[in-house]
Amino acid sequence: MNGRTLALLLCFVACVAGLVLSRPAGAQGGRQTIDGTVVGISGRAAGRSRPFKLIINNYTTPGEAQALSDALQRGQDELLEALSKLDAGRISIGNNVGVDANAIIRTPQAEGGTKLTVLYRRTVNFYELRYGARSQDYRFGYAEIFLDARGRGEGTFIPAARVRLRDGNTWEVEDFGVFPARIIGVRSTGSVPAR
C-alpha cells in the first residue's frame, strides 16, 4: 500500500468516525421507541404480563387522521382499507416481531405531556375464521399511551377492538374483552423527525 492510498484510507476512516461520533447519544436513526409491560386485567390473560414495544417511524398527519375518520363514516371495512395504506411503525406484545402500527396519532397534553393513540389492523387467526368466533368482528388493535415531559408514562391496550364513529367526529372503541389491558412502566427513547 503506497502513502497516498494510506492517506485516503485514513481520511475516509476519520470522516466515518466523525459522522458516528457527531450523532447525539440515544439517537436511533429518526425512530422513537416506547417500551413497557402489558398486564392483563381480565379473561385468560388476567394477571399475566408481557413486554410491550412500539417503534415509531413517523406520526400520522392531521390529513391522514381526517381520512381515517372519513373512512370510518362509511364503515369498518372502509377504515380497514384506509389503514392498510398507512405505516407509522411497529407494535409488538411479547418477544415477537409484532405487526405494523398503521396509525400513530400524537396529541399534546398539559405540562409538556403527550398522548399517543395507536390503531392497527390486527391479524385475525384461522381458528376465528373457521369457527365463526365473535372475535372476528373485532378487527383492530388499539392502544393509548400517556407520556409526561420526561418520556415516562402508562396506558391501555386493547388487542381486539371494534371502532365506531359517534356524533360524527368522536371515535368510540369497544373492547372484545371485559377490561382493556394496562401498559405500565412506559419509557420513551429517541425521537421522530418532523415531516
Domains identified in the chain, total number: 1
Report the distance separating Cα 122 and Cα 140, nearest Å. Answer: 5
Helices (H), ranges, 102-184 = 126-130
What the block records as the C-alpha cell of 118 is 395507536
- The answer to the question of residue 11 being in a domain is no
Which residue shows C-alpha cell 392497527?
Answer: 120
Q: Residue 151: which domain range?
A: 28-190
- The answer to the question of residue 1 being in a domain is no
Report the distance separating Cα 136 and Cα 125, nearest Å. Answer: 8
- 195 residues of the chain, pLDDT tens digit each: 444 333 333 333 333 334 333 333 334 457 999 999 999 886 666 778 999 999 999 999 999 999 999 999 998 889 999 999 999 999 999 988 889 999 999 999 988 899 999 999 886 665 555 555 555 677 889 999 999 999 999 999 998 888 887 877 788 888 777 678 999 999 999 988 666
